[in-house]
Structures are given as C-alpha cells and as structure tokens.
Amino acid sequence: MASISVDQDQFSCPVCLDLLKDPVATPCGHSFCMVCINGCWDQEDQRGVYSCPQCRETFTPRPVLRRNNVIAEVVEKLKKTELQAGSPALCYAGPGDVECDFCTGRKHKAIKSCLVCVVSLCEAHLKPHLEIPALVKHKLVTASSKLQEKICPQHNKQIEIYCRSDQQFICYLCTMDEHMGHSTVAAVAERKETE
C-alpha cells in the first residue's frame, strides 16, 4: 500500500486550531470538531440561520451533523505517528513549561512570547505572527513565564530602557515623564554590561 504525506494543519479545526476531535463536515465540505461547530451554531440559534465559520456559507434549517469516520481514523493515525516522532507540534506543556495562552483544553508548550500582545504562543498559534503583515512587526521573544516583567506597568509598553539614575528598567514613555533628563541606556546594553 502506498503511503502519502499529510500535514497536521490539514486536520486542524479552524475554530480551536487543535487536531480535530470527533470530526464532522458541514454541507459545504469543511471539517470541524463536533463541539466547536455546535458551539458556533448554538450562538446562531436565535436567528435560525447557520453559517460555516470558514467560508460563511449559510444553511437553514440547522444541518444534522454526523461523525466523519474516515477523517477520525486519519487523525488518530496522525496523532500516533506524531507522538512517536516526538513532534514539537503535539508537545503539551508540563511542569515548569510556559503554556500557550490560546490553546483550549490541554495546553501546548509555548515556543515564543509576543511583547506587543503580551501572550505566549505554541507552534500552531504562532503562525499568524509569522504570516499576517500587521503581526509580523510584533516583537517575539523566547517563551517567558515572566512576560509581565517585560512590560511597563504604568504605560503598558515594552521595557526597553535602563535608567541609570534610578537604577531601574523603564519604557520609552517613562523617559518623558518621571525619568526626563536622567542618564539612560538601552536595556540590552545594560544587561550585557552587568553579565
């Protein structure tokens, strides 16, 4: 029997972005977790018009959904192969790991933190930050559980400056307020000096 190469993303739910759980297909052909699509459609019950979260095609009445056994089997095989290969995409956060802020249910291990959004992201949820032009400009750092320490509590901006006069790390807005005229350097430079 010939083997085919599949990408995990092909079997991810467009709503939760995790591997499909109890997969079902809408009449337009898109696949979702049973729980995810029912959750979306429960919110549309009052209108009586149900739409596909992916292509926005509408349906009336609410379609009856049945489990897609073929996709369910493929997802199970994919899970087994990925676990055997030790794929980072399926690496769940353990004690001491930084958890992804976007994962629902069991959280995946975060690989990056965004200092603009102030969130930590796993491999799957990091994709928009690597592809969407507005998000590509965000400052990504190695996943950190101490994310709030890198953000100025007063101005909610990234801490990028070290005030030598007051011996503390500050944001650029702080230099215009209580640290105006103080001796300041880039935080990176100060960290290198003290190492």
Q: Where are the domains of the chain?
A: 8-85, 91-148, 161-194
The pLDDT, as a whole number, for residue 77 is 84
The pLDDT, as a whole number, for residue 89 is 46
Q: What tokens appear for 88 in the block?
A: 């980072």
The pLDDT, as a whole number, for residue 192 is 65
8-85 topology per CATH: Herpes Virus-1 (3.30.40)
Read off the pTM: 0.47
Q: What tokens appear for 136 in the block?
A: 């590509």
The pLDDT, as a whole number, for residue 181 is 92
The pLDDT, as a whole number, for residue 177 is 87
The 3-class secondary structure across the chain, one letter per residue, is CCCCCCCHHHHECCCCCCECCCEEECCCCCEEEHHHHHHHHHHCCCCCCEECCCCCCEECCCCCCCECHHHHHHHHHHHHHHHHHCCHHHCECCCCCCECCCCCCCCEECCEEECCCCEEECHHHHHHHHHCHHHHCCCEEECCCCHHHHECCCCCCECCEEECCCCEEECCCHHHCCCCCCCEEEHHHHHHHHC
What does pLDDT average to in each consecutive run of 10 residues of the chain (195 residues)?
64 83 93 92 90 92 92 84 52 84 88 89 92 90 84 86 92 91 84 62
